[in-house]
Amino acid sequence: QNIRSNWQAEFDADTTGFDIYYKAGYDPQQYLKFYKMISSDGTDSHPSDKARINNIKKYVKKKYGLELR
């Protein structure tokens, strides 16, 4: 697999993680704090945390109409 498809898989995992977190009733505003606790600093095979957080924010705004801070 190439890096882009690996990165897309990571983005998909992040957004699926948010869906599970949100549907379980957790405060969506706390998700980024949770994410930062479990994240790494990015590698050749993983996008940077900044890119992943930006992707999560865009996804949540589009799907749920929520603005994560």
Q: What is the pLDDT of residues 18-59, one digit of tens each?
A: 999 999 999 988 988 887 777 766 566 677 888 888 999 999
Q: How far apart are CA 17 and CA 10, in angstroms?
A: 10
Q: How far apart are CA 54 and CA 65, in angstroms?
A: 15
Q: How far apart are CA 26 and CA 45, in angstroms?
A: 30
Q: pTM to 2 decimals?
A: 0.75
Mean pLDDT of the chain: 85
CA atoms within 13 A on the CB side of 66: 17
pLDDT of residue 66: 94
